Amino acid sequence: MSQASQAGKPARIGTPRQDAALAEILGEYKHEKGALIPVLQKTQEVYGYVPREAMARISQDLKVPMSKLYGIATFYAQFHLKPRGENIIRVCQGTACHVRGGARILEAVQKELGIKPGETTPDLRFTIEPVACLGACGLSPVMMVNDDTYGRLTPEMVSEILARYARAAESA
Ligand code: FES
């Protein structure tokens, strides 16, 4: 047990504002123990992922077993159990993009960021998410950074695109 929880105050999970938001969510769903999916969704909105400690808090406050929460969080692809970057990069590996060099685009992204699909940079700026088809096959090869779509890519374009997001993060 941490010192904070011994003193009667719950241990910190994220920032004070994030933890207060979680407390509010738990208050809201105190009497709706069946609503675990919305609780996990809202928790993810707060922290950007579902921290293990947040799941423990949910389990304790709503009196549901951790195993049940884990079961839900690992079953649905929408839930992330590890921290994700501020910028989510999806490089299409669908058939149309694959035949037009999608693998080389992915390689360029990996090389630029030093991480593999499914991983996040240590500074939490970028996450590469594996993806099958982004639904923009006419623009192949395609990648998305957050909600922005980039088509007809060449590996040479990758570093300039990523630099834009790195700069935006620096000036934020
Ligand atoms: S295969 Fe890449 S967008 Fe469809």
How far is residue 165's CA from residue 39's CA, in Å, rounded to a whole number?
31
pLDDT given at position 38 = 96
- Report how far apart, in Å, the C-alpha atoms of 147 and of each of 78, 90, 121, 150 are: 16, 10, 19, 10
Write b or e for each residue in 103-127: b if 16 or more Cβ atoms lie within 10 A of its Cβ, otherwise e: eebbebbbebbebebebbbeeebbb
pLDDT given at position 7 = 52
Sign of CA dihedral 100, 129, 41, 18: negative
Contact by Cβ (8 Å): 73, 79: yes
Rounded average pLDDT per 10-residue block, the chain, 172 residues: 53 92 94 89 94 96 94 93 92 94 96 94 91 93 96 96 87 70
Ligand 1 atom with the shortest distance to the CA of 92: 2
Report the SS3 class of residue 120: strand
pLDDT given at position 26 = 95
Residue of 90, 91, 100, 142 best suited for mutating to test ligand 1, as the one with most atoms within 8 Å of CB = 142
pLDDT given at position 19 = 95
pLDDT given at position 8 = 62
Distance in Å, CA 116 to ligand 1 centroid: 20
Report the SS3 class of residue 145: strand
Write b or e for each residue in 133-158: b if 16 or more Cβ atoms lie within 10 A of its Cβ, otherwise e: ebebbebbbbbbbeeeebbebebeeb
Side-chain half-sphere of 39: how many Cα atoms within 13 Å?
Answer: 29
pTM of structure: 0.73
Beta bridge pairs of residue 145: 89, 148
Residue of 106, 140, 149, 153 best suited for mutating to test ligand 1, as the one with most atoms within 8 Å of CB = 140
